[in-house]
């Protein structure tokens, strides 16, 4: 299976399914005959499970293969790690005829992609996602590292050459990480596809029991939704902002809790609940009770952690790079599948926070 991603700056394929990773050597040989060195960037955990196989396949392309291992999770998305990757690349003679392979979840994809975007003003890279969340992060070309002042503050729009989404890599993913990624699947359904939302609601009752067939379907749908939005608006001047559904409050929760305590998706899910609540206040008709029961049964918390007070959440949301004026902009739904941007004043934000959490 392959999905074509078309953006103004680049077109590239997403190969998705069991064994797609085995097509990597031929793909490299055929399309990148001028590339001499491959640098695989992966994290400690993913490398310990899957690097061996990827290294072997990469070497089959006839190119020299190097590896650089970064820490897991958000610890990978720092200036230090970014600098170390660049230094490693320079020390090992990488140049414009080199390519980076990002093997891991969104964190690895983000830092490795940013290294690729900036090393010698940009060298090609390929995403080899290993998490469910990466159906979101590996497509669309946003790459970034964090600044102590905020998540993803330093980055670029830089599209990969291709994405090889090997489904069997997901089999080793811990349930908590699965839950994180599934929140972005829900997000994609809510903003663009009521039928897909219904499918999820009826089909997915236990995250530990998702079949490959179900993975294939939800990842394909999720990527198609993301692709349709990125095609229209690569650099987030308009509709791409809809992808931030659930992220306004989600990022604030994630940031204030300290990255690592809450996964990205777990925080985003809380943000989705809240965005749905605000949407209802603005007139959306939606069965929020059914939604809450469903996600709770999947193991999500729908409450803001008690130690976070509402005023500091508002302050944090105002620091988000997406907040331009002093009023916070939310992505809300008119209906499932029909998002809109709305500026909501602090008073209403607080009142709704108090009602729901
Ligand atoms: P991650 O990359 O931090 O991976 C989560 C954890 O799972 C890590 O500990 C990792 O080692 C482990 N892991 C990954 N794959 C595994 C596998 N197959 N088997 C066992 N363990 C595995 O997290 P993520 O959830 O994939 O990504 C989160 C990051 O993505 C955040 O930094 C977020 O900001 C970013 N993101 C970026 C975009 C974008 O458009 N660029 C979109 C959404 C999220
Ligand atoms: Zn997200």
Nearest to 244 by CA among 229, 259, 228, 258: 229
Nearest residue by C-alpha to atom 35 in ligand 1: 106
Does 117 carry a binding-site annotation? no
CA distance 4 to 162: 9
pLDDT for the residue 261: 79
- Residue 71 DSSP SS3: coil
How far away, in angstroms, is 215 Cα from ligand 2 center? Answer: 18
**308 pocket-lining for ligand 1 (C-beta < 6 Å):** no
Query: How far is residue 83's CA from residue 139's CA, in Å, rounded to a whole number?
Result: 24
Same domain, 202 and 117: no
Does the C-beta of 240 come closer than 6 Å to ligand 1?
no
Distance 35 CA to ligand 2 centre (A): 32
Instruction: Give 70's Cβ-side CA count (13 Å radius).
Output: 33
Q: Is 135 annotated as a binding residue?
A: no
Domain count, the chain: 2
pLDDT for res 224: 97
133 alpha carbon – ligand 2 mean position (Å): 8
How far apart CA 122 and CA 143 sit, in angstroms, is 12
Ligand 1 center from residue 169 Cα (angstroms)? 13
Note whether 251 and 315 are same-domain residues. yes
**Which of the ligands is closest to the CA of residue 152?**
1
72 lines ligand 1 (CB under 6 A): yes
Report d(CA 71, CA 108) in Å as an integer.
Answer: 9
pLDDT of residue 323: 60
Ligand 2 centroid–CA 183 distance in Å is 8
Tell me, what's the pLDDT at 322?
64
Assess whether the C-beta atom of 133 lies below 6 angstroms from ligand 1: yes
Residues 138 and 156 in one domain: yes
CB–CB of 231/141 below 8 Å?
no
Ligand nearest to the CA of 272: 2
Residue 166 sits in the same domain as residue 191: no
Q: Strands 125-129 and 98-104: what pairing? A: parallel
**52 Cβ partners below 8 Å, 6+ apart?**
none
Q: What is the pLDDT of residue 92?
A: 98
Query: Which residue, chain included where needed, has tokens 């907040």?
Result: 323
Q: What residue ranges of the chain have pLDDT lower than 70? A: 321-324
User: What is residue 342's three-state secondary structure?
Assistant: strand
Q: What is the 346 CA–ligand 1 centroid distance (Å)?
A: 32
CA nearest to 151, candidates 227, 248, 85: 248
The answer to whether 74 is a known ligand-binding residue is: yes
Q: Could you tell me if 95 and 237 lie in one domain?
A: no
In this prediction, residue 150 carries a pLDDT of 81
Tell which atom from ligand 1 comes closest to the C-alpha of 143.
41
Residue 281 is part of a domain; what is its CATH number? 1.20.1090.10
Give the domain CATH number at 78. Answer: 3.40.50.1970
Res 324: pLDDT: 63
The residue segments making up the domain with residue 61 are 2-172
Has 293 been labeled as part of a binding site?
no
Question: With a 6 A CB cut-off, is 104 part of the ligand 1 pocket?
Answer: yes
Residues 243 and 331 both lie in one domain = yes
The residue out of 172, 193, 220 marking a domain boundary is: 172
Identify the three-state secondary structure at position 75. helix
Say what the ipTM of the complex is: 0.99
Q: What is the 3-state secondary structure (H, E, C) of 210-273?
A: CCHHHHHHHHHHHHHHHHHHHHHCCCCCCHHHHHHCCHHHHHHHHHHHCECCECHHHHHHHHHH
Among 172, 201, 220, residue at a domain's last position: 172
Last residue of a domain, one of 145, 172, 199: 172
Same domain, yes or no, for 163 and 190? no
137 with 276, same domain: the answer is: no
DSSP code for 208? G
Distance (Å, whole) CA 252 – CA 234 = 24
């Amino acid at each position: 299976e392959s999905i074509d991603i078309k953006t103004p700056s680049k077109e590239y394929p997403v190969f998705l399914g069991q064994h797609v990773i085995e097509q990597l050597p031929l793909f490299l040989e055929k399309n990148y005959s001028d590339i001499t060195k491959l640098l695989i960037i992966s994290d400690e955990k993913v490398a310990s499970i899957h690097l061996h196989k990827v290294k072997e396949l990469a070497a089959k392309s006839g190119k020299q293969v190097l590896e650089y291992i970064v820490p897991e999770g958000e610890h990978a998305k720092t200036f230090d790690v970014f600098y170390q990757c660049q230094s490693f690349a320079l020390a090992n003679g990488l140049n414009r005829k080199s390519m980076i392979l990002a093997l891991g979840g969104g964190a690895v994809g983000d830092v490795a992609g940013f290294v690729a975007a900036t090393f010698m003003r940009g060298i090609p890279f390929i995403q080899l996602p290993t998490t469910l969340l990466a159906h979101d992060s590996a497509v669309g070309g946003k790459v970034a590292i964090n600044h102590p002042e905020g998540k993803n503050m330093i980055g670029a729009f830089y599209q990969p050459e291709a994405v090889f989404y090997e489904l069997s890599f997901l089999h080793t993913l811990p349930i908590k990480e699965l839950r994180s990624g599934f929140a972005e699947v829900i997000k994609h359904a809510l903003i663009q596809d009521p039928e897909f939302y219904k499918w999820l609601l009826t089909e997915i009752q236990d995250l530990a029991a998702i079949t490959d067939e179900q993975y294939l379907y939800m990842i394909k749908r999720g990527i198609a939704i993301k692709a349709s939005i990125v095609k229209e608006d690569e650099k987030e001047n308009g509709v791409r902002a809809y992808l931030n559904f659930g992220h306004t409050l989600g990022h604030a929760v994630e940031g204030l809790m300290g990255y690592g305590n809450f996964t990205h998706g777990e925080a985003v899910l809380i943000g989705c609940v809240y965005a749905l609540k605000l949407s209802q206040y603005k007139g959306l008709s939606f069965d929020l009770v059914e939604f809450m029961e469903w996600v709770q049964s999947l193991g999500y918390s729908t409450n803001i952690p008690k130690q976070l007070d509402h005023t500091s959440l508002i302050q944090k949301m105002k620091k988000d790079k997406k907040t331009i004026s002093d009023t916070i902009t939310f992505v809300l739904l008119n209906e499932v599948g029909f998002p809109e941007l709305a500026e909501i004043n602090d008073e209403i934000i607080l009142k709704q926070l108090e009602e729901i959490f």
